[in-house]
Structure 1
């Protein structure tokens, strides 16, 4: 496996080194600094104390974005600071890049994994079920090549591991933005390939396929297990109309090398300062539709109305499936973006009373749909 990975990386680097170089950029470098401040209100139907208070309103995050470019060399970094209960401060992404031409580039560092619909397989504040199992807006440490042709687009990447904060045999910290395997297992040596075909005269329809394969190292047995995933998707984007449609079907399998009798059909994953258990085998089906309503007023510019649904079919005996549906709207007013969401969850850790095993065992025979009404308001600069 290691020899195969090294060979693929060597071939990728060789291809990049003989790419077509663009004309030199102007002598002066480009630097952009931005960020956001966000606050959040939520009211959860399964929290009786919160219902008595009428919900909670508080700090969500402060983020800082830095982009730079000089002689085709790129820098892109985003640092986020949440409340202590949600992991505190950490880097969402941070990578160096180089533009070989106006159609191809390379990224090295912590960047988005090329898998499924990007940048998001959702329109709402809560993402979709794919996010909570590490397959939506995931960011890992590695090298990625991007090619964007007129009709065909593809990305190939190698990731040494997920975000690493304490090197060696220590457990991975859950203080991170995107969900990764944590606990007594660690992600390592992952390869991703994604291909997209643009359709139609406007080129705003796309179909795509993604493949992912890698290892998972167990700290107890000191052995590598395997993991793999695949997805197909369709998306119709907004620019040529007011509609956005997202459809995706995917599968995954994780095979950790647990000690004898230690495999319960689950693996631990973490983000935002906390871990939970996830089934090691399943399929996820997602669908989303959104409609943009332009508004001419002094402040409000548009409203994006959307509905996003996800279904998690767990392929582990005795595990109850999970679902989520988010109905809501994004209100845009200059630098302000306000999400108003009615988020429904069924065996969902963020949308129900069961945290640790909602995406694993669930609560067979006792599961109900739960609602979280959420308003997230942010000023982006």
Structure 2
């Protein structure tokens, strides 16, 4: 009996120990499972966090690349706005940080000009071919320090075109001091692609060089230019009193007229569009004093302009609308407040003191990869008109159909232009009044080929 109890006790003890062992093993398995489940959840959480960090990093890299491309594009646009876009050969002579280049150009013209029986521009005389321009260019770049100089020689006169020193703060900011291009209009040459430009140029409202300081800054959405000019670029060697210069300014040709002083400019251009269509929408403001050198009162001048540049594939459409006014005294040498004396290329002429000026240009660049002797051809059509506020004056329009041809260091313009009020189109009307009263209001034509070799 005692032995049986002992056996039962032993079995009970063994059974209890087995149960405890099983319970312990179950608890251990549960603990391991919980630990494994916790580890999986932690890993999943960590993976999600890493994925978020990777997405953020990719977004940051994409944004940085986009900003880099924008900065590069804006820097290239800034560089192009400061140099002649006719041709930029890479084989210039270099002296350390200084590059030496230039150009020589010849011109053929035929049109509505008086017959002289010789080598005139007349249709009857088969036109005229002559040397047009020789120019010398110096470009300096040493780290952030920049500089440009351009001087031009023509038949009987010569002048400084550009001469400034600058500092490049970074890819977005630059300053220039000296004779530099005034920031007015959609680009360095306004809306135009042609050799003749549009009527803005002849009013000193595109490709105008003056003496002063200009600051440029680019942001994500805007390009800004602000400038102050103490005077125009000055007059150089020629037969006129003050008109031996490249760009059109108010000139004191009589000695007691007006001179430009203290000019302020502001231009803003914003970049719109996506995909293949790009749009640059902008405005330009200009104000200057007109210093009297005679008995008449001082005057002033202002101009406001809205402009837009649309690009789609190889097409470029440029439009601009400008209003300007010269406030001058009727006691000035011209004897009226409705006209102002302007000049360039060693020739003075009169201009309407107040007008609206719309202009449009459509161009297409075709890269001729299949032709080894031609890089590209760019046909264009342009129109601009001076709508004068004075009712007794006739308006002055200019229309051009042409093309620009680029091949290596050669750059050639072929232009057919018609105008009822431009000093360089036709010669049957008296010179000097076509942008002013334009009394004859006679449409004339000119076909022009300009051959340029750039080195």
List runs of 5+ in structure 1 lacking aligned partners: 1-27
Return 5+ residue gaps in structure 2 as ranges: 1-94, 117-121
Structure 1 Cα separation of the partners of residues 171 and 96 of structure 2: 18
Q: Distance in 2 between matches of 1:100 and 1:38?
A: 36
Aligned counterpart in structure 2 of residue 76 of structure 1, from 148, 160, 163: 148
**What SS does the aligned partner of 1:132 have?**
helix
Deviations 1:32-90 (A, max 9, x none): 21111100000022333322220000100011111111241111111111111xxx221
Q: Does 1:180 align with 2:249?
A: yes
Q: 1:165 to 1:302 in 2, by over 3 A?
A: closer
Q: 2:348 aligns with which of 275, 285, 292?
A: 275
Structure number with higher relative contact order (C-alpha < 8 Å, ≥ 6 residues apart): 1
1:175 counterpart SS class: coil
Q: CA-to-partner distance for each residue in 1:4-59, whole Å, 9 max, x for gaps? A: xxxxxxxxxxxxxxxxxxxxxxxx96222111110000002233332222000010
Which among 221, 234, 237 is matched to residue 164 of structure 1? 234
Aligned residue for 1:251?
A: 323
1:111 Cα deviation after fit:
0.4
Match of 1:30 in 2: 97
In the alignment, what sits opposite 1:190? 263
Query: Aligned in 2, Cα 1:63/1:294: closer, same or farther, shift over 3 Å?
Result: same
Instruction: Identify the residue that residue 137 of structure 2 maps to in structure 1.
Output: 65
Report the equivalent of 2:394: 320
SS at match of 1:51: coil
Q: Distance in 1 between matches of 2:330 and 2:180?
A: 29
- Is residue 327–residue 337 contact of structure 2 (8 Å, CA) maintained in 1? no
Higher alpha-carbon deviation: 250-259 or 52-61:
250-259
Structure with the bigger percentage of helix = 2
Q: How far did 1:264 drift?
A: 4.2
How has the CA–CA distance of structure 1 residues 33 and 104 changed in structure 2, closer, same or farther, with 3 Å as cutoff? same
- TM-score, normalised to structure 1, is 0.86
- Relative to structure 1, the CA distance from residue 30 to residue 200 in structure 2 (aligned partners, 3 Å threshold; closer, same or farther) is farther
User: How far apart, CA to CA, are the structure 1 residues paired with 2:329 and 2:169?
Assistant: 41
Deviations 1:208-266 (A, max 9, x none): 001111110121126421111100000124xx621111100000000123528932410
Answering whether residue 110 of structure 2 is matched by residue 110 of structure 1, we say no
Cα distance between partner residues in 2 of 1:64 and 1:201: 40
| Contact 1:160/1:189, CA 8 A, preserved across alignment | yes
Which deviations, in whole Å up to 9, do the C-alpha atoms of 1:110-135 show, x marking residues without a partner? Answer: 00001112111201000000001110
Question: Is 2:227 the partner of 1:136?
Answer: no
Query: What is the rounded CA distance, in whole Å, between the counterparts of 1:148 and 1:362 in structure 2?
Result: 42
| TM-aligned CA deviation for residue 350 of structure 1 | 1.2
TM-score (norm 2): 0.72
Q: Does the 8 A contact of 2:328 with 2:337 survive in 1?
A: no
Structure index of larger Rg: 2
Q: Do the aligned residues in 1 keep the contact of 2:159 with 2:235 (CA within 8 Å)?
A: no
Task: Give the match's secondary structure for 2:202.
Answer: helix
Mapped contact 2:330–2:337 kept (Cα < 8 A): no
Does residue 242 in structure 1 map to residue 314 in structure 2? yes
For the pair 1:294 / 2:370, whether they are aligned, the reply is no
Q: What SS does structure 1 have at the residue aligned with 2:392?
A: coil
Kept in 1: contact 2:321–2:359 (CA 8 A): yes
Q: Does the CA contact (< 8 Å) of 2:235 and 2:243 recur in 1?
A: no
User: 2:248 and 2:365 mapped to 1: Cα distance?
Assistant: 30
User: Would the aligned equivalents of 1:217 and 1:256 in 2 still touch at CA under 8 Å?
Assistant: no
Shift of 1:300: 1.3
SS at 2:307 equivalent: strand
Q: Please give the residue correspondences for 1:323-338 in structure 2 after superposition, counting only pairs within 5 Å.
A: 323-338=397-412
